[in-house]
Structure 1
Amino acid sequence: MCAHILVAEDDHMQAELIRRLLLKEGHTAVVVSDGRAAIDEASSQRPDLVVLDLMLPGIDGFGVCRVLRRDRDVPVLMLTARTAEEDVLLGLDLGADDYMTKPYSPRELLARIRTVLRRALGPAERSPALRVGGISVDPVRHEVVCDGAPIVCTPGEFAILRAMAAEPDRVFTRRQLLQHTRGHDRASTERAIDVHIMNLRKKIEPSPRTPARLLTVFGVGYKLVDSRHGC
């Protein structure tokens, strides 16, 4: 089960450890270090799970959880060094799906994440693929199909295609698309997005030089549109 996971953790070493664990498990991951960024990222990226540290600067984890529960039903796994029973109960009362105290075992963390995702996403058939014309992007199976033919994508390409398929006809700037690739390509730049787009066109367009699906909006960015052209 592959998922897009938001990690809100202000301890950079802990955040990097979690990010690497998630990538090794086949997930995509985005890391933020304060409460406001966590809320903004969850709103714009719509992750499948939020790994949320309670002791965040600005808005703490309790405040973040309140906002997330008010806006949408995203699963939340809380992490904290605070072990007081009232903190645990408050976190669960606010709607956290699970709660872990530091220090924790990486294996246990991954096991808890798998459990929360399994409860939230359920069987793959309950999480339908994103479809734009003849293109199907399955976030759970991490598969792309174009007019019935499987397409092999790199993690960066998949992250971009998934984001665009979730909002067809929306114009994404390079910077916005870059945010979707940060989880697995930290050295990526906005110009690297052009390379991802070029490679995607080779895979999903019948004529990559004259794209009909993955279009350039000059001076702005790119968008994915419905097209009757085959791959």
Structure 2
Amino acid sequence: MSQSATLLVIDDEPQIRKFLRISLSSQGYKVVEAGTGAEGLTQAALARPDLVVLDLGLPDMDGQQVLRELREWSAVPVLVLSVRASEIQKVEALDNGANDYVTKPFGIQEFLARVRALLRQAPQASTTASALSFGPLTVDLAFRRVTLDGIEVALTRKEYALLAQLASHPGRVITQQQLLKDIWGPTHVDDSHYLRIVVAHVRQKLGDDPTAPRFIVTEPGVGYRLIGPEQG
């Protein structure tokens, strides 16, 4: 990875962003900035950075949530930069998909070395696709937006979570238990009626006939899969 890489800095402190911008730019990197979690997720989709530097203490949402949402659609390396120094916070960030963790205050030379190491490890991370298309249906995982024939489909949080999970594994059967665990939590793995109701609502909104599905196929007794026009 050359030093023309693009780095996204998500931090609500203007002085930290300025310091990192100057330090990273001096090394030849292009720097994109965001002061909130929502802005950071948007910039991650638009700028397609090669690496994300993420603060955990953001004004609109916790950095751990930003990390979880980013990992729904992107494998870009993430370097957490935070005042939170506890082992619990570090472990949570790494479990949520962070690649490295640096605590504030920090030494810039060590920080730059960690940036270089992460860029070497994942040179193709920025090519991850965020918008997945299945014929007339498009699921944009970055912007949490679903369109059918170019028209946005209004989905509830659970309905979107179901469709996003299926779209992330096109053509693959996702078991009922896995969907229930991921969407409702591990205490609901036997509540299959929750899942049936949400699937029915999504099908209705997509105009998808369960007897001749264009998108969501039921695998009886197992789970569901999402198909495109070329699949059966």
TM-score, normalized by length of structure 2? 0.52
CA contact (8 A) 2:50 2:126 kept: no
Matching residue within 77, 81, 84 for 1:82: 84
**d(CA) in 2 for partners of 1:127, 1:112:** 18
Greater gyration radius: 2
Deviation at 1:7, TM superposition (A): 0.2
Matching residue within 68, 75, 87 for 1:66: 68
For 1:99, give the aligned amino acid.
Y
User: What's the counterpart of residue 16 of structure 2?
Assistant: 14
CA contact (8 A) 2:67 2:97 kept: yes
- Cα distance, 1:127–1:73 mapped onto 2, change above 3 Å: closer
Which runs of 5 or more residues in structure 1 are unaligned?
129-231
User: What's the counterpart of residue 116 of structure 2?
Assistant: 114
For 2:50, give the aligned amino acid.
D
**d(CA) in 2 for partners of 1:41, 1:59:** 15
For 2:42, give the aligned amino acid.
D
**d(CA) in 2 for partners of 1:65, 1:83:** 17
**d(CA) in 1 for partners of 2:126, 2:56:** 29
Runs (4+) of structure 1 exceeding 6 A deviation are: none
For 1:69, give the aligned amino acid.
R
User: What's the counterpart of residue 97 of structure 2?
Assistant: 95
User: What's the counterpart of residue 51 of structure 1?
Assistant: 53
For 1:65, give the aligned amino acid.
L
Deviations 1:63-113 (A, max 9, x none): 111111101111100011011110000000011000000000011110110
- Cα distance, 1:120–1:83 mapped onto 2, change above 3 Å: same
Deviations 1:45-68 (A, max 9, x none): 111000000101112211111111
**d(CA) in 1 for partners of 2:55, 2:37:** 9
For 1:62, give the aligned amino acid.
Q
**d(CA) in 2 for partners of 1:19, 1:54:** 18
For 1:77, give the aligned amino acid.
L
Matching residue within 26, 32, 35 for 2:34: 32
- Cα distance, 1:26–1:60 mapped onto 2, change above 3 Å: same
For 1:26, give the aligned amino acid.
G
Larger relative contact order (C-alpha < 8 A, sep ≥ 6)?
A: 1
**d(CA) in 1 for partners of 2:42, 2:94:** 22
TM-score, normalized by length of structure 1? 0.52
- Cα distance, 1:127–1:86 mapped onto 2, change above 3 Å: closer
Which runs of 5 or more residues in structure 2 are unaligned?
128-232
**d(CA) in 1 for partners of 2:120, 2:98:** 15
Deviation at 1:127, TM superposition (A): 9.4
- Matched residues, number: 125
